[in-house]
Amino acid sequence: MRLPIIGSAFGLLSITSLVAAQTYTNCDPLQKTCPADPALGKTKSYDFTQGASSDFTATGTPTYGKDGAEFTVAKQGDAPLIQSNWYIMFGHVEYTIKAAPGTGIVSSAVLQSDDLDEIDWEWLGGNDNLVQTNYFGKGDTSDYNRGATHDDPGNHDGFHTYTVDWTSSQIVWQIDGTTVRVLTPSTADTNQYPQTPMVVKVGIWAGGDPTNAAGTIAWAGGVTDYSAGPYTMYLKTLKVTDYSTGSSYEYDNESGDWTSISAKGGSVNGNIGADTMSSVESAPSVTATVNIPIPWSGTHRETSTFTTPDVWPWVATGSATSLPAGWASSGSRSVQPPSTASVIFFPVYIGLLVVSAGFILSSRL
């Protein structure tokens, strides 16, 4: 019993290290100087029925066919996505998407920045009639009741155009040209309005994987049955207008405010008139909020392990082989991490266990 105590102690220490490495942006510009973000700086359209684009980097194995980019969950661990190699600093994004069916399957289209601002569309495979919108600022997940649900009948059966129009004064979400939600800095949670350069990510994951936390599985609509798959999401076309111009975007300070962003060879809002919506008078009020469980702690640090931000719903490569009771793994992410205090004092606890075990061994020899 004594040697297993030591082994278990080091096993738990390894798991704690794993937790500490799961939720970090590769370089947080609010903590240090980071490389400049390459800018799109113009309007560009992509027709994925013609194949992959070199403007995007794939994770997993998306494929391409007559309906465009195909993101498929066929087995546990599948979570294919594409991410743009450029950033926009405010802009207009139109996705033509057919969401995936399947209980627990989540199709996602996300704008995300290096400091973890985020603007989301998400579809649940168990519901062909609704879509969710969400936003986050600076990776703050202390309050995750910012999501809203919207009528979106037939989203598994055919293609619809989902739009995000994002400026310093408002974010507008539209479905097939109809505004379903508007967010302004004054209506957003305090310090949560997204306002830093973002990439585009589109992909799929299994929120209903049986190893996920119970809250995540419940939100996703239930446990995913992989034997009933495969489950495929399609991205036919993508049109993006960058409302700023230049070759790259840089953070001039660590405030995370849009006024601290500079555009090399251009200007922030230098292309603001291209597609900006002039009125949101028809925007409905958000009456249906959704409590979306976030399977990580709200702390974001840095690691050289990942080349792209590792933020829900997508996980980095690698996985834990075993976790103690009460923990669950989502890909490489442990979804019920310990508190900050436990992470700080855990090494001390481990040290005491090792010393105690050594004392017991020496006293028995």
Do 119 and 192 lie in one domain? The reply is yes
Does residue 128 lie within any of the structural domains? Answer: yes
User: Do residue 10 and residue 39 come from a single domain?
Assistant: no
Look at residue 329 and tell me if it is in a domain.
no
Which SS3 state, helix, strand or coil, does residue 43 take? strand
Active site residues: 118, 122
Same domain, yes or no: 74 and 7: no
Is 251 within a domain?
A: yes
Residues 59 and 11 in one domain: no
Would you say 73 and 208 are in contact if contact means Cβ atoms under 8 Å apart? no
Residue 27 lies in a domain: no
* Same domain assignment for residues 57 and 188: yes
Residues 63 and 186 in one domain: yes
The enclosing H or E element of 363 equals helix 340-364
Q: Is residue 88 part of a domain?
A: yes
- Whether residue 41 sits in one domain with residue 6: no
Q: CATH code at 42?
A: 2.60.120.200
Report, as ranges of residue numbers, the positions in the chain whose pLDDT lies below 70. 1-25, 141-145, 276-365
Phi, psi dihedrals of residue 217, rounded to the nearest 5°: -60, -40
Q: For 333, list phi and psi in degrees, rounded to 5.
A: -100, 130
Cα dist. 192→61, 116, 142, 188, 213 in Å?
Answer: 33, 10, 11, 6, 26
- The whole-number pLDDT of residue 296 equals 31
Identify the helix (H) or strand (E) that includes residue 249. Answer: strand 248-251
Residues 7 and 64 in one domain: no
| Total number of domains constituting the chain | 2
**Where does residue 265 fall: left (phi above 0), alpha (psi -120 to 50 degrees), or beta otherwise?**
left
Residue 149 shares a structural domain with residue 273 = yes
* Domain carrying residue 153: 33-296
Mark whether 269 and 342 lie in a shared domain.
no
What's the start-to-end Cα distance of the chain, in Å? Answer: 15
CA–CA dist 133, 44 (Å, integer): 24
Instruction: Please check whether residues 355 and 227 belong to one and the same domain.
Output: no
CA 109/CA 122 separation, integer angstroms: 7
What was the pLDDT predicted at 283?
56
Domain boundary among 272, 296, 320: 296
> What pLDDT, on the 0 to 100 scale, is given for residue 126?
95
The pLDDT, as a whole number, for residue 357 is: 46
